[in-house]
Amino acid sequence: MATAKSQAGLSRESILGGFDKLLTVLDSSADSFKRQSDQVGKTEVDSRVAMVNDLNASIDQKQKEIADMQQQVRAKQAELESSRSKLQKARSDFAAAYQRRKAEIQQQRQEFEALLQ
């Protein structure tokens, strides 16, 4: 058997060397794959993570804007109710003043009508 191995050029060292070369090629392929996957991670994954983070930040900003606008709406509604109350009071005061003045004028008319007869 030793003779057959040596005639075919196969020795313990050459067989083990062949395995070592295979391991070296495998390690090299693994390194190459890691570099490529790292690059894909940077270009594909990291950019999408950044986009998601940007979108989340944008959502947070919009939610703050919405909260601010809701506060403005509440403030304007309070102003509206105040204005509505003031307007209603002004209308009521005017109507009362109108009725008093109308009654006064009608009374004065009757008095003058009586004097003019």
Residue type (1 letter), 106: Q
Q: What is the pTM of this model?
A: 0.53
Q: What is the pLDDT of residues 74-109, one digit of tens each?
A: 999 999 999 999 999 999 999 999 999 999 999 999
> Alpha-carbon distance 2 to 8, whole Å?
10
What confidence score (pLDDT) does residue 6 get? 54
Task: Kindly report each contact of residues 97-102 with a partner whose C-beta sits within 8 Å and lies 24 or more positions away, as own/partner.
Answer: none
Q: What is the pLDDT of residues 5-21, one digit of tens each?
A: 555 678 999 999 999 99
Cα dihedral sign for 54, 55, 59, 60?
A: negative
Alpha-helical runs (H) found in the chain: 2-7, 12-40, 47-115
Give me the residue spans of the domains in the chain.
Answer: 2-115
**pLDDT more than 70, % of the chain:** 93
Strand, helix or coil for residue 16? helix
Tokens of 23: 């391991």
